[in-house]
Amino acid sequence: MTAAATPVQQTRSDFDRWRRRSRLIRKLRLILPATIGAILLSRIGFVVQTTVLGGDGSPAQTDAPIQLVNPRFVGKDEKGRAFVITAASAERDENDYQRVLLNQPALVLDAEGANPSRVTAKTGVYSEDRRVLNLDGGVRMSGSNTDFDTQSSIFNTATGELEGQGQISGVGSLGEITAKSYGVYDKGERLVFKGGVRGRLDSK
């Protein structure tokens, strides 16, 4: 048979329970604010990272020029003669979106004709508003029994004419020739050379 607790023992037991609960409450009062503070700090850090650090990187990615791989531009001049412009890669000039910067461009004149001419270069710039293609660096023209090398060429997509300033040398249907400027007309069938023209004709 278990003896009943005396009033003194009951009071002491209640006091112990109250003291343990008071200790728990004091601990919770310390732990909960610390936990809330840690959560707030982590949220603030996340906001700073996404707005400040992320803000520096996002516009650069968004404003980066559009790059194209193996682009192809097809068109016709005023007389209906087809031309094709291709390149290894291209991107729009971030300062002027009317300019397309070309890497290793190639131009085919009279693409649908019987004797198309091909012009290649290291770099090029196609101005869409002016409809002009500038080719620079190691420009090489071949086709229609011609094979010429020069440094730069300008192709007007409206008129279909190809012209250039700078030393040009190569081999045509009549023999070797060098000059300081040139022009290609009539679907590549007529070549005009100017400035210090020198040539060696092949007799047949």
Give the CATH H-level superfamily of domain 67-201: Lipopolysaccharide (LPS) transport protein A like domain (2.60.450.10)
pLDDT in the model for residue 102: 96
Q: pLDDT for 59-113, tens place per residue? A: 445 566 678 899 998 888 888 888 999 999 999 888 888 899 999 999 998 878 7
pTM as predicted: 0.62
Q: pLDDT for 39-57, tens place per residue? A: 777 777 666 666 655 555 5
Q: Is the pLDDT of residue 134 over 90?
A: yes
The mean pLDDT value of the chain amounts to 79
CA angle 143, 123, 66 (to 5 degrees): 120
